[in-house]
Each structure stands twice: as structure tokens, then as C-alpha cells.
Chain A
Amino acid sequence: MLKISELNVAYDSIRVLWDVSLEIEEGKIVALLGPNGAGKSTLLKSVMGLVPLISGSIEFEGKIVNKLHPSRITEMGISYVPEGRGIFPYMTVRENLELGAMSKRSRKLMQENLRTCFELFPILREREKQLAGTLSGGEMQMLAIARGLMAAPRLLMVDEASLGLAPIVVIKLFGVLREINARGVTILLVEQNVLQALDVAHKAYVLESGKILLEGDTVSLRGHEHIKKAYLGL
């Protein structure tokens, strides 16, 4: 579904990604793991067309997307939930959700997708008319994910969903991600919460210092020496 080949990205003169290649099969949950500053967020941003590439290609469903404007990429069916729950604090929950439906295609599906969002996150229906800035951290993250779904994506990319959330909220959130996946949305998950991510994902990549260090199905990665030592503290 998504195929990234030999991607190189730099901010000004600082190289962030080195020949990164990655492939995501339709219907799967794929986790992208790695320490702070490894380039995980940059990878997601380059898929969205938010950072310029030096070289490499990004293919989505067989079409090259790396020269496209973010709005075109959303339209094609990729949705990005940025790190730090990038919500609009002085707009209501409802307005935040509406803004998720940016493309023509998703605006037609707005009512239907709103219903799905409220089904997945019932708390958002209760908070519908509240300013998003007044939500709790967990609720903001739910709103960010729900807003991502409003674009009616086939691929949902979630950046650090669990950051700063209580463990119980994280478990709930990953449960909903699984449910979203079961409804047919492929998910690319950037995570520092390795244990949870390996639990929910089918496949994982480990990115360190801008390079893919490891890749494989989560069952075998869980037993890998490097993962055990560096990420799971075993």
C-alpha cells in the first residue's frame, strides 16, 4: 500500500533520514520504533509532503506521491495525526472534527464519519460543543485521532499517540486503534511505548539515527536481542 524507497531527508544541512526504505501492506498495523530524534516524525512528515526530500520515492497504492501538496495526499487517502495532539484549542470539538474533512471526498462523507468517530470515542459526543483546549490530555489525543479519521483515510499515520498519557488511557487508545484497523484502515504507528506498540502491531521497523536498523514481524522482534536490551530493558 505504502512503499518508501531510499528516502533521504535533511533540514537545512543536517541530515535526518539516510536511505530509509519501508513497506506497509494493506490492512496491517505497522509500528515505527526508535529513540528520540531518530527521524520517526520526519518520516511521517515526508509522506505527508510537509518536508522536502533530497532523494528517494514514496509510493501510495502504486502512485508516486512525493511531489504532491499535502491537500492532494489527504485526498488520496492518507491521514496524519501529528505529535503533541495538534488540536485547535479555541475551536469546539465539533469544529475540530469538521476540519479533518478537508478533501471533497471526505466532506461528502462527513455525517457518516462523524457518527463513526462518536461511536469509537463516545466521550467526544459528550464534549461536542466544548472548546478543544479544555479537554484532558487523553481526550485531546482521541480528538486528534478522530479528526484524522474524518478524512476517510485508507492509511492512518499516528505520531506518538501515547505520549504523556496515563497507562490506562494508553491501553484504551490502542484498543480503539485496533478497532479502527479492524474496520479496514491500515495504520502506521510511531511509538516510544515499545511494549504496547509491539503488542498491537503486526510488523515493526526500528529507526535509529536516521537509518532502519531492524525490521520484521512483531513476534520475532520481541525476541530480538537488541530490542530486548535497548527497548524492553530485559
Chain B
Amino acid sequence: MLPIYHIDIMINGILMGAIYALIAVGLNLIYGVSRILNLAHGDLLMLGGVVTYLAYNFLGQTPLIALIVIIPLFLLIGGLINISVIKPLMKFGPERSAATSVIVTLGLSFIIVDLVLFGSAQAGISTFGVSYMLPSLRILDIYLSTVRLLSLLSILLITIILRLFITRTFLGKKIRALSQNREAALALGVDESRVSAITFGLGSALAAIAGVFIIMITATQATIGMTLTFKALIIIILGGMGSFFGAVIGGLLLGLAESYTMLYLGGEWIPVIGVIILFIVLMIRPRGLFGRES
């Protein structure tokens, strides 16, 4: 039998993977609908973490309460970003706006990070952490972190709700229609700017939700966003562009891989393991694990 610490490593890996999945699913949704690569995605996550930090340390609210505020807040923020920054690019057509959006969202990323850096320097804060603890759960001889299990459960629930929203509601169908065949969707009268704004809001909310869970695991800094954006990118290419399940499986895979890399190879290998997996997968399946033919 495996040593007991394996259970810990596995749970950590799955939790981190579930968080990665949230980030990647959001990025993938936005990319699918608008063909926009949002490089500020990870920074919205960081903002979600900062809001959680503020709510916990200054208002005494638990992270799960913060979540209830964060979801509508970031739906709104994402929608506003889409309307003010992304929408003006769309009139150049999807090919050109894809390239310009990279520059624009990179700029947005810098602005968000610098604002948070500036604000936290003024307040004398360098890292954001939430020391939210609950009594551990004991099953046989194994102690499990209640916070982590609760997080895992919440993420599972959020993913299921999201999936139902996308597959069952008319708005969700419009989102899928736009990502599968934009021309046809427009011809049917799908209101692209409205659906794009909602999708951007949804993706941003997912990123912010991920931020809530990350800050419960580890203290974060204003600059973590870009690393996570790139990890999300690796995951959606790994899982297959445009595939919901691809993003979920890709996220879990990366989370577990990182967790075991930490154990067997050491922490310095964590940043490269994703790229190595991506390299191997693309050699065998160029369109990713669950990628669709275009």
C-alpha cells in the first residue's frame, strides 16, 4: 500500500488541478466566443484573491462568503472590460482583433498589477494571505483538511452548474453556437456583442473564483497572474482548444503532475513540468487530448 502522505499529495494535486481547471475553462470560454486571448486572465484571478483577503482581514468575512460577492462583482467587471476595451477591437474583424487583443490585454494586465502593487505598497502589504482554518477531518488514521475538501466540493459544484448553464440554457447555447460557427450564429441573429460581454464576465468570474481558492491554500502576490495565465494556456492547448472537458481534464492533469513533481523531482521542476507534458501530448495528438477538428 502507498504511504499515507500520498493521500495528502493526491488531494493537494487534485485541488490545485481543480483550480487550474476553473482558470482554464474561463479562458477557453472567452477564447471560444471572441477569439480573444485574454492575457489579463490570471490578474483577474489575483484580484479575486485580493478581494477575499480584504474581506477576510478587514471585514472578518470567510472566503466562502466573499465568494458570493465576488461572483456577481467579477461578472460585472469582466462585462465592463469587454465593452470598454475588447469590443472596440472587434470591428476590425476576428483575424485582426485576435492579434491586437494580445497587446491590449497585456496592457490591461500591467495596469491591474501596477494598481495592486501601488495600493499594497501604500498600505505596507507585500503578500496577500488568508489564514482560514477549520478543524481537520479524521477518517481512520488519516487527517484531512476540511478547508481543502470544502474547496474541492465547491469547485465541483461550480463546474457542474457552469456545465448545466452552457448546455441547457438558451444563452449557453448561443455561447456554444458563437464558438462553433460564428458566421452561422450571426446569420441567425445572435447578438454577438451582448453574448461576448456576458462570456467575458463569466470567464472573469471563474478566474476570480479560482483566486478565492488559491489564496486559501497559499499566500499570493500581485504578480502571480501572468504565471497562471500561461498555465491556463498550457492547459487549454493540452486539453484541446474549445473543449470544456479538455480544460477540466487538462487542469487536473497539471495539478497532479505538479504535486508529484514536487515530491519526486523537487520544487524547481514545477514550472517546466506543464511544458514537458504539453510537448509530449502535442507530439502524439497535435490537437490536444479532446481537441476538435476545425
A binding-site residues for B, Cβ under 8 Å: 48, 50, 69-75, 80-82, 86-91, 95, 98-100, 102-103, 147, 151
* Residues of B contacting A69 in the complex (Cβ-Cβ under 8 angstroms): 189, 191
Please give 20 more A-B residue pairs, beta carbons under 8 A apart, in addition to A50-B187, A71-B190, A90-B292.
Answer: A50-B186, A69-B191, A70-B189, A71-B189, A71-B191, A80-B188, A86-B181, A87-B181, A88-B176, A88-B180, A88-B181, A90-B176, A90-B180, A91-B173, A91-B180, A98-B170, A99-B188, A99-B190, A102-B190, A147-B188
Contact B184 A82 (CB under 8 A): yes
Q: Contacts A71-B190, A74-B189; is A91 near B184 (CB within 8 Å)?
A: no
Instruction: Please report the C-alpha to C-alpha distance between residue A75 and residue B189 in the assembled complex, in whole angstroms.
Output: 9
Contact A80 B187 (CB under 8 A): yes
Q: Contacts A98-B170, A98-B173; is A87 near B184 (CB within 8 Å)?
A: yes
Instruction: Please report the C-alpha to C-alpha distance between residue A74 and residue B184 in the assembled complex, in whole angstroms.
Output: 13
* Residues of A contacting B181 in the complex (Cβ-Cβ under 8 angstroms): 86-89
Contact A100 B173 (CB under 8 A): no
Instruction: Please report the C-alpha to C-alpha distance between residue A89 and residue B173 in the assembled complex, in whole angstroms.
Output: 13
Contact B187 A70 (CB under 8 A): yes
B binding-site residues for A, Cβ under 8 Å: 170, 173-174, 176-177, 180-181, 183-191, 292
A-B contact pairs, 15 of them (CB 8 A): A72-B189, A73-B189, A74-B188, A82-B187, A86-B181, A86-B184, A86-B187, A89-B292, A90-B176, A91-B176, A91-B177, A99-B173, A99-B174, A102-B188, A103-B189
Q: Which of B176, B177, B190 has the most CB of A within 10 A?
A: B177
Instruction: Please report the C-alpha to C-alpha distance between residue A195 and residue B27 in the assembled complex, in whole angstroms.
Output: 49
Instruction: Please report the C-alpha to C-alpha distance between residue A80 and residue B174 in the assembled complex, in whole angstroms.
Output: 17
Q: Which of A72, A75, A81, A99 contacts B177 (CB 8 A)?
A: A99
Instruction: Please report the C-alpha to C-alpha distance between residue A84 and residue B183 in the assembled complex, in whole angstroms.
Output: 11
* Residues of A contacting B174 in the complex (Cβ-Cβ under 8 angstroms): 99
Instruction: Please report the C-alpha to C-alpha distance between residue A50 and residue B183 in the assembled complex, in whole angstroms.
Output: 9
* Residues of A contacting B292 in the complex (Cβ-Cβ under 8 angstroms): 89-90
Instruction: Say how far A91's CB is from chain B's closest CB, in angstroms.
Output: 6
* Residues of B contacting A151 in the complex (Cβ-Cβ under 8 angstroms): 188-189
Instruction: Please report the C-alpha to C-alpha distance between residue A90 and residue B173 in the assembled complex, in whole angstroms.
Output: 11
Contact B176 A102 (CB under 8 A): no
